[in-house]
Structure 1
Amino acid sequence: MRLLALAAGLAGAGAMAQFPEASQHYVQRLAGAVDELSVVVADFDRSAQSAGLTREEALAELSGSTFLAARNADMTRTITRYEALSSDLTLLRAAGPVERALLLPARLDTEIGRRALEDFRPALPLTASGAGFAGVGFVGGYGLLALFLSGLGRLMRRRPVAET
């Protein structure tokens, strides 16, 4: 039983140790998305400014035809996405490894996350945060399997039948 629990602990350590690097890949992808969206938004803002309009006024002028209404919706969606991703990037860059682990599920953009995981390759973490997550994973994996096997062992033991 101890050998199985040790194996579970090592598996948990290996899996959890990947989080700091995987989250770093995500933040790098997020930064790239923010950089690209900032080019589009800045270009739109420059066009609006050269026409003597604010962003909101320029968006309002995108109406009157099906194409212009669609373009308005596209730009509104792009600007909203840019602002949300920029905010997420600022928070995640400022966060430490544990705080990032807590923030990331609520801030995860699934498309960026999927792309980051496509390129991610597990590796041996040689950072303090990697070692910390490995330790948590080891304790978690070892502890959960040890508890499960202990409970299973108690259920399997024969209890003496009381004689009456």
Structure 2
Amino acid sequence: MSRIVRIVAFGCGLCGGIIASQGPEYAQQYRQRLGGAIDELRQVITRFDADAQASGESRESAIVRLRSNTDDFVSRQGAAMQANVERLRNLETHRETMMQAGPFARVALMARDGDRDVMEAVYRDFEPALPVTEEGVLSTAIGFVAVWGGLLLLIGFVRSLWRRPRQPVRASI
């Protein structure tokens, strides 16, 4: 194989490694933003609970009272608060599951069960980085080997097609 092909394959392998390393980095930034969303929802719900308690209501009874109000705006506020409570519960469960999972499982959990709003926010603000965690280094190595090795195999296969011996044409007499 020519030297140029090896150099190009190596360069592509490096690019593949860098790209593969972004999965764990994206998952790490996702977990940070997930924590921020949970903290903010907790504050909103804590304020709501305090207002409900000051009015002699529990959270549940205050939500029911708002949702059953004939004023459409007030009723929508009750539905919104119920959605906030449910979302907080879901986000907390998701974060707990991610924290208990192993490094590579976190990326899979995020991709499979991730909160769409949080994932979109991470994507908008994503800053690529080269993680130096075990997960990041292994992802980089896997990406490098997959692209570099795959490219060398593909080039070798294509070359073998061109190198096939041609059958001599026999002249008929």
TM-score for the superposition, normalised by structure 1? 0.82
**Could you give the per-residue CA deviations for residues 97-149 of structure 1, whole angstroms, max 9, x where no partner exists?**
21112111023223322332344333343332221111111122123323433
Per-residue CA distance 1:42-78 (angstroms, 9 max, x = gap):
2223333344433332221112221122112211221
The Cα shift of 1:155 comes to 4.4
Residues 1:145 and 2:134 aligned together:
no
- Residue 17 (structure 2) aligns with: 13
Report percent identity of matched pairs. 34
Look at both structures and tell me which one has the larger radius of gyration over its CA atoms. Answer: 2
Matches within 5 A, 1:21-36: 21-36=25-40
Cα displacement string for residues 12-71 of structure 1 (whole angstroms, at most 9, x for unaligned residues): 111122333322111111101100001111222333334443333222111222112211
State how 1:1-164 maps to structure 2 within 5 Å.
Answer: 1-62=5-66, 63-158=69-164, 160-161=166-167
Q: Distance in 1 between matches of 2:122 and 2:76?
A: 30
| RMSD of aligned residue pairs (Cα, Å) | 2.5
Higher RCO structure, 1 or 2 (CA under 8 Å, sep 6+):
1
Give every structure 1 segment of 4 or more consecutive aligned residues whose post-TM-superposition deviation is greater than 6 Å. none
Q: 2-side partners of 1:53 and 1:154: how far apart?
A: 78
Residue identity matched to 1:43: R
TM-score where L is the length of structure 2? 0.78
In structure 2, stretches of 5+ residues that fail to align are none
Code of the residue aligned with 1:14 in structure 2: it is I
